[in-house]
């Protein structure tokens, strides 16, 4: 694509251009890269500012690899530039605009569904994708845990819940090229705040819930909620893709986020709930250890739902997905039949059975609210002790740590506090932050809980204490394939480690 056409796509024009007068706008740009190591001859390099480094430091490296022009934030010293440099006010917004243009605006030809919230985003996104596939649509999916396209599914090993704008637009283009009609995109608060989903032209916005999380980044709960609200601001009632897609906001009437998000919605709202009157409502819940049943009432119909997805929070996730499918004309018959046989998401309430005499569950629960919900499910189906191994990520929300410690103290019989992803923080300090909440709740270290930084040792310690009919929950990592210690991403899979540590207990 010609450089002039890419620059014309910027919603905010460049502030200044250095290194070439005039800029060679007729230059053909063969690719975009925000990582200098991925730059190649004919590329435009976008110098994205990061947490630990600044993309402007790598302009020379990108040039050496063949990049012909760079774009980034204003420079303190614009001398000695190896290639022309385009200054912009918002680099991430520019990256998204350039990516949309380079891949020829694929979202404009897809029904795009954004799913946000604190907990349940991945499960809800997967349920939505499965329902649309069952209805005969060709659906693409991007979540924290997995990707799906053209009937193929693979794990998300990037450790990014919402990819950068460049990868999102590339994947949307791939969906379109493979005749997909619908795209389901897990949209985190980071992804919304940092313009990663800018240009996705959402038709449907879905929220699960909004609880205490990511205040390391957003600083306040109000700012966190405001970031989530961006998804619903992006639902443009004037935008018509000409394919009959219905613009709608799917809000959780049971959650406090309902009143927060409602003012940002300029399209029709379809709300769902269990405890409150809503357009899509679940009644007569029957929560069992292996299955869940409820009756769903819609504005013009109702039916019985029976699903292997367990727990009250999965009823809410199902309602969000049902509301989404219903809004786009999918029949209740297809919805009910699909939910009856749907498979769970990897690393979400996943049973690890190696023949041991106690139960082991791996789940992604990494917030106080999600940990509380999972333990609430496991408590009534556990005949013996309920134990949990968990931690809290380094360089992330510090305020939630003692809250998680308090939840474990109140909801489990024994627990081990351990690493999640300590990153560059002191591992022991993180454990102490969590333990403070447990101690304040009346628990005693050494008797009621242990602090063991090494996650394998922590899991082993929990298994050593487990008896027949006990349940051990390994929380916080779920599907993830790595653990981040310092700047190093080390191979790690809770499910695999659990299987290895269970071998001595196989009967």
* 287-346 pLDDT tens trace: 987 889 999 999 999 999 999 998 899 999 999 999 999 999 999 999 999 999 999 888
Residue tagged 């653990």 (tokens): 483
How far is residue 384's CA from residue 298's CA, in Å, rounded to a whole number?
40
Interval 365-423: pLDDT, tens: 999 989 999 999 999 889 999 999 999 999 988 999 999 999 999 999 999 999 999 99
Residue 36 labeled ligand binder: yes
Residue 121 labeled ligand binder: yes
How far is residue 45's CA from residue 388's CA, in Å, rounded to a whole number?
46
CATH classification number, 106-341, choose in 3.40.1190.20, 3.90.228.20, 3.40.50.150, 3.40.1190.10:
3.40.1190.10
Eight-class DSSP state of 246:
P
Q: What's the rounded mean pLDDT across residues 186-212?
A: 93
Helix (H) or strand (E) holding 32: strand 31-33
Residue 27 labeled ligand binder: no
- Name the least confident of 207-216, 244-253, 311-320, 465-474: 207-216
Q: What's the rounded mean pLDDT across residues 145-158?
A: 91
Q: How many CB atoms lie within 10 A of CB 301?
A: 11
Interval 30-68: pLDDT, tens: 999 999 999 999 999 999 987 667 889 999 999 999 999
Asked if residue 217 has pLDDT above 70, the reply is no
**Exposure of 334 by Cβ count < 10 A (0-12 exposed, 13-18 middle, 19+ buried)?**
middle
- pTM above threshold 0.85: yes
- Work out the pLDDT band at 21, boundaries 50, 70, 90: low
Pairing, β 488-491 against β 482-485? antiparallel
- Name the least confident of 44-58, 239-253, 418-432, 455-469: 44-58
Residue 162 labeled ligand binder: yes
Residues 473 and 386: beta-carbon distance below 8 Å = yes
Pairing, β 280-287 against β 269-273? parallel
Helix (H) or strand (E) holding 260: helix 257-261
The pLDDT score that the predictor gives to residue 51 is 67
The pLDDT score that the predictor gives to residue 69 is 95
- Residue that wins the pLDDT comparison between 84 and 289: 84
Residue 496 labeled ligand binder: no
- Name the least confident of 207-211, 265-269, 494-498: 207-211
HSE, CB side, 13 Å, CA atoms: give it for residue 329. 7
Task: List residues bridging with 450 in a β-sheet.
Answer: 416
**Under CATH, which architecture does the 3-98 domain have?**
3-Layer(aba) Sandwich (3.40)
Residue 196 labeled ligand binder: yes
The pLDDT score that the predictor gives to residue 213 is 56
The pLDDT score that the predictor gives to residue 232 is 97
Nearest to 307 by CA among 475, 127, 147, 184: 127
Residue 405 labeled ligand binder: no
The pLDDT score that the predictor gives to residue 427 is 96
Query: In this structure, what token pair is assigned to residue 361?
Result: 């569950």
Asked if residue 212 has pLDDT above 70, the reply is no
Eight-class DSSP state of 38:
G
The pLDDT score that the predictor gives to residue 22 is 65
| CATH topology classification for 350-505 | 3.90.190
Domain layout of the chain by residue ranges: 3-98, 106-341, 350-505
Nearest to 127 by CA among 110, 118, 115: 115
Comparing 3-98 with 350-505, is the CATH topology the same?
no
- Work out the pLDDT band at 355, boundaries 50, 70, 90: very high
Query: In this structure, what token pair is assigned to residue 79?
Result: 């001398």
């Amino acid at each position: 694509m010609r450089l002039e056409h890419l620059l014309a796509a910027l919603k905010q024009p460049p502030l200044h251009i250095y290194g070439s007068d005039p800029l060679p706008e007729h230059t053909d740009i063969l690719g975009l890269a925000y990582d200098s190591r991925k730059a190649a001859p004919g590329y435009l390099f976008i110098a994205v500012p990061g947490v630990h480094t600044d993309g402007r430091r790598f302009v020379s490296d990108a040039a050496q690899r063949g990049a012909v022009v760079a774009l980034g934030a204003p420079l303190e010293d614009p001398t000695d530039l190896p290639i022309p440099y385009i200054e912009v006010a918002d680099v991430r917004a520019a990256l998204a605009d350039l990516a949309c243009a380079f891949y020829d605006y694929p979202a404009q030809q897809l029904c795009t569904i954004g799913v946000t919230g604190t907990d349940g985003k991945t499960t809800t996104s997967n349920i939505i994708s499965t329902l649309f596939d069952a209805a005969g649509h060709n659906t693409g999916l991007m979540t924290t845990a997995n990707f799906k396209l053209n009937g193929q599914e693979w794990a998300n090993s990037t450790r990014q819940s919402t990819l950068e704008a460049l990868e999102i637009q590339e994947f949307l283009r791939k969906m379109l090229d493979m005749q997909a009609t619908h795209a389901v995109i897990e949209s985190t608060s980071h992804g919304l705040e940092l313009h990663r989903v800018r240009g996705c032209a959402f038709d449907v916005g879905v929220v699960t819930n909004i609880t205490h999380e990511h205040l390391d980044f957003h600083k306040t709960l109000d700012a966190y909620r405001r970031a989530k609200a961006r998804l619903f601001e992006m639902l443009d009632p004037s935008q018509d893709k000409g394919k009959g897609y219905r613009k709608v906001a799917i809000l959780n009437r049971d959650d406090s986020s309902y009143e927060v998000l409602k003012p940002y919605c300029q399209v029709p709202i379809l709300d769902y709930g269990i405890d409150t009157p809503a357009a899509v409502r679940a009644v007569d819940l029957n929560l069992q250890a292996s299955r869940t049943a409820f009756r769903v009432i819609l504005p013009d119909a109702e039916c019985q739902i029976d699903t292997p997805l367990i727990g009250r929070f999965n009823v809410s996730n199902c309602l969000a997905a049902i509301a989404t499918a219903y809004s786009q004309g999918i029949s209740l018959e297809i919805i009910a039949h699909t939910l009856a046989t749907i498979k769970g998401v990897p690393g979400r309430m996943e049973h690890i059975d190696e023949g041991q005499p106690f139960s082991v569950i791996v789940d992604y629960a990494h917030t106080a609210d999600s940990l509380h919900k999972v333990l609430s499910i496991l408590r009534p189906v556990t005949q013996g002790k309920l134990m949990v191994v968990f931690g809290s990520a380094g360089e992330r929300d510090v305020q939630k740590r003692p809250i998680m410690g308090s939840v474990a103290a109140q909801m489990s019989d024994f627990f081990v506090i351990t690493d999640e992803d300590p990153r560059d923080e002191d591992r022991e300090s993180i454990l102490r932050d969590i333990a403070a909440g447990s101690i304040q709740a009346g628990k005693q270290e050494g008797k009621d809980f242990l602090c063991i930084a090494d996650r394998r040792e922590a899991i082993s310690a929990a298994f050593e204490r487990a008896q027949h009919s006990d349940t051990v929950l390994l929380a916080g990592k779920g599907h993830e394939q790595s653990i981040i210690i310092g700047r190093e991403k080390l191979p790690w899979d809770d499910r695999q480690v659990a299987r290895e540590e269970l071998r001595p207990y196989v009967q």
